Structure 1
Amino acid sequence: MLFACALLALLGLGAPCSFVVPRSDWKALPSECSKPLQHPVRYVVISHTAGSSCDCPASCEQQARNVQSYHMKERGWCDVAYNFLIGEDGHVYEGRGWNTKGDHTGPTWNPMSIGITFMGNYMDRVPAKRALRAALNLLKCGVSQGFLRSNYEVKGHRDVQSTLSPGDQLYEVIQRWDHYRE
């Protein structure tokens, strides 16, 4: 275990994946979800919220709460739809986390994928480099912790559903990631 923690520290991930902002830190409402994901998960679906972006912890925590409130109070879902939310502050905000099925991509994909959303609209611009780095570190973390298969596949939201998400500019970026598959 000590070796694994040292390796994760060398990768810049901390132990275990300490760069993820827990729900309690962003003051998430209690989740009412209970459907588990089976690990390791094969697919990761990347989306954007198409709403406001954020670039500091205070605004990103507020934006995560806004997204969760919309999903729970307006859409009637058991929690925020995504497993993780990425802020342009370079932090990953825990949504449903690694263990709970999301509501991000419809009934076919939700039970077999992790949903990662970038908070903001990425039709006309790319997310900050630190946000992209945070997402890639999260994926490394998922593999190292056994939540994602080592040969996981990244999909854009538009690859699996009729949508403009994750936005034209973010979509171009993820298509260059090693694990992207159309």
Structure 2
Amino acid sequence: MSRFYVLLAWAFAHLRLAAAQEDQACCGPIVPRREWKATASECNQTLNLPVRYVVVSHTAGSSCNTPALCLQQAQNVQHYHARTLGFCDVGYNFLIGEDGLVYEGRGWNTKGAHTGKFWNHMSIGITFMGNYMERSPPPRALRAAKSLLACGVAQGALSPRYTVKGHRDAQQTLSPGDQLYEIIRTWPQYHE
């Protein structure tokens, strides 16, 4: 009888592993740092995964709607954060372009510099490249963000019960912009 339970436990473990590997394979494309020509990171503080929170912001700068423009914009954001503000790297874990692609910032494992000392150690910061006070990001950018969040859960970087917050919910700011803020407030994981 106990041999049956051992085999059953092994079968369930094998199925869970296969499902997890399949989930990871289903993650949408993330443009790695080397492809957008990021400079080397000097960051060394890791996140304790899985994190419970995702903070959504906007850069409030120029938008980009092609891979070439988004590559340049990701470089611009990194240059501003590292050279002007003195950060160890771009402050966000991920950047979303209007081209529908996700650009790797600090990634899943490294603590960001996106929402202040209280939030950075327990959240992933994703930013939409552009200003979303008066207009909304295109649907492909919103789909990319949702795919990224599902990927984070599948990879164990985000808690399955993660909470989405707008940048303005955590700090005194207009970010992520009025239009994007109204959109994320409709997401099931959003909590003020």
Structure 1 segment 30-109 matched on structure 2, within 5 A: 30-109=40-119
Task: Measure the CA separation in 2 of the matches of 1:2 and 1:162.
Answer: 44
| SS in structure 1 at match of 2:137 | coil
Question: Are 1:134 and 2:141 matched, yes or no?
Answer: no
**Partner SS for 1:53:** coil
Q: Distance in 2 between matches of 1:18 and 1:121?
A: 24
Structure 1: gaps spanning 5 or more residues: 9-13
CA distance in 1 between counterparts of 2:173 and 2:48 reads: 26
* SS of equivalent to 1:149: strand
Q: In 1, distance between residues paired with 2:63 and 2:133?
A: 12
Quick one: which of 151, 165, 172 aligns to 1:155? 165
Which of 174, 178, 183 is 1:168 aligned to? 178
Identical aligned pairs, as a percentage? Answer: 66
Larger of the two Rg values belongs to structure:
2
What is the deviation of 1:15? 1.7
Q: CA deviation at 1:2?
A: 4.5
Q: What's the TM-score once normalised by structure 2's chain length? A: 0.89
- How much has 1:4 moved relative to structure 2? 3.6
- Cα offset for 1:17? 2.9
User: 4+ residue runs of structure 1 moved beyond 3 angstroms?
Assistant: 1-6
Q: How many residue pairs get matched?
A: 176
